[in-house]
Amino acid sequence: MSVRVSTRHMQMMVALSEAGSLVEAAQLLGLTQSALSHRIKEAERLLNTELFYRQHKKLVPTSAGKRLLHSSRLVLAELERAEADINKLSVGIEHVVRLGNEAYGGYHWLPACLAAFAREQPTISVEIIPDVSLDPYAALRTGRIDLALTSGQPPEGFQCRRLFRDEMRLVLPAGHELAGEDWVSAGQVAAHTYVTYHTQPGKGREYEQLFSHYRLLPARVIRAGVTEAVIALVKEGFGLTIMPEWVLTPYLAQGGLNTMRVTEEGLHLDWQLLLRRDEAPDSPAARFADCLTRVAPVTR
């Protein structure tokens, strides 16, 4: 079956979704407004259906338009990745390994690991894929990434390379009323506003080990999305959070924060690298995992 739409129609769909108007979309594409209108009509003629309807002087995608927009984003993203990979091949890079990092993970360890790997494997390039942090497992299964750095308890179905055991610490602003104690209880943590990445509990992390275990929930929760935002809110006194020591390392060096053990026994988790179950032992991804296994613990 021949494909009736082209990449320029796909680029049109994405531009119209991102721009606030037909005029702005035309500017993004380097077209006149008239030329863009003709391109929309051409795509609708080729597909024999309407892709947009007007609402308050704006173009809103129809159901068919939404379907084409979804596919356009996937196809264009894959083409961009293919072009980037081919460009690397032209300068001596034979393989590209894509690493995904979960929302709780930091990046302070990355330069040392990349430098070590570049010395060992100069023909293998590494890319960090930033938009898989909320579900690195799905991204690994579907091939968007080649390996994932995760913490907590991983699901079944992956090769797992253990890195090291870490402790999750309570993070609070300098001068907080709890500072100075040897450890804090679940009740003391729950009595304060809690700043978190997202409200979906991570398996094997603080919600499971602390809040669920003691049948408590924080008085109020602020969702901040990324590590930098969580740290900034805590530092300014908006609440407390719990974070792995490995991730906290660069932020503690900046000052303005204190950390404490949570419960007398502490809360612990394991960091690991996950690869697909059928990953070959000598594949580029497996070689990068071998390097990270050796180097990453040293960067703590």
Report yes or no on 2 lying in a domain: no
* Whether residue 221 is found in the same domain as residue 277: yes
Domain's final residue, options 68, 88, 108: 88
Counting Cβ atoms within 10 Å, is residue 74 exposed (0-12), middle (13-18) or buried (19+)?
Answer: exposed
**pLDDT at residue 172, as a whole number:** 94
Beta bridge partners of 159: 275
**pLDDT at residue 227, as a whole number:** 87
Counting Cβ atoms within 10 Å, is residue 88 exposed (0-12), middle (13-18) or buried (19+)?
Answer: middle
* Whether residue 129 is found in the same domain as residue 70: no
Radius of gyration of the chain (CA): 24
* Whether residue 52 is found in the same domain as residue 189: no
The first and second tokens of residue 184, run together, are: 């804090």
Q: What is the pLDDT of residues 67-120, one digit of tens each?
A: 999 999 888 888 887 887 777 666 566 788 999 888 777 888 888 888 999 898
Alpha carbon distance 185, 147 (integer Å): 36
Alpha carbon distance 170, 189 (integer Å): 8
User: 69 and 61 in contact (C-beta within 8 Å)?
Assistant: yes
Phi, psi values for residue 214, rounded to 5°: -95, 5
* Whether residue 25 is found in the same domain as residue 105: no
Domain's final residue, options 88, 110, 131: 88
Report yes or no on 261 lying in a domain: yes
**pLDDT at residue 299, as a whole number:** 61
Report yes or no on 214 lying in a domain: yes
> Which domain CATH number covers 43?
1.10.10.10
Alpha carbon distance 83, 71 (integer Å): 18
> Which domain CATH number covers 249?
3.40.190.290
User: 75 and 7 in contact (C-beta within 8 Å)?
Assistant: yes
**pLDDT at residue 298, as a whole number:** 63
Beta bridge partners of 258: 172
Report yes or no on 232 lying in a domain: yes
Distance between alpha carbon 283 and the CA centroid of its chain, in Å? 24
Q: What is the pLDDT of residues 100-114, one digit of tens each?
A: 888 777 888 888 888
Report yes or no on 262 lying in a domain: yes
Q: What is the pLDDT of residues 183-196, one digit of tens each?
A: 999 999 999 999 99
The count of structural domains within the chain is 2
* Whether residue 78 is found in the same domain as residue 134: no
Prediction pTM value = 0.67
The first and second tokens of residue 265, run together, are: 């026994």
* Whether residue 39 is found in the same domain as residue 110: no
The first and second tokens of residue 134, run together, are: 């909320």
* Whether residue 265 is found in the same domain as residue 160: yes
Give me the residues of the chain with pLDDT under 50, please.
none
Amino acid letter, residue 44 = E
Report yes or no on 235 lying in a domain: yes
* Whether residue 57 is found in the same domain as residue 135: no
Contacts of 24 (CB under 8 A, 6+ apart): none
- Residue by residue, DSSP assigns 64-117 as HHHHHHHHHHHHHHHHHHHHHHHHHHTTT--EEEEEEE-TT--STTHHHHHHHH
* Whether residue 49 is found in the same domain as residue 123: no
Report yes or no on 1 lying in a domain: no
Distances (CA, A) of 226 to 13, 50, 69: 29, 39, 27
Domain residues for 50?
A: 7-88
* Whether residue 252 is found in the same domain as residue 298: yes
**pLDDT at residue 93, as a whole number:** 66
Domain's final residue, options 69, 88, 107: 88
* Whether residue 174 is found in the same domain as residue 294: yes
- Residue by residue, DSSP assigns 145-183 as -SEEEEES-PPSSEEEEEEEEEEEEEEEETT-TTTT-SE
Report yes or no on 56 lying in a domain: yes
* Whether residue 123 is found in the same domain as residue 17: no
Alpha carbon distance 158, 225 (integer Å): 26
User: 260 and 184 in contact (C-beta within 8 Å)?
Assistant: yes
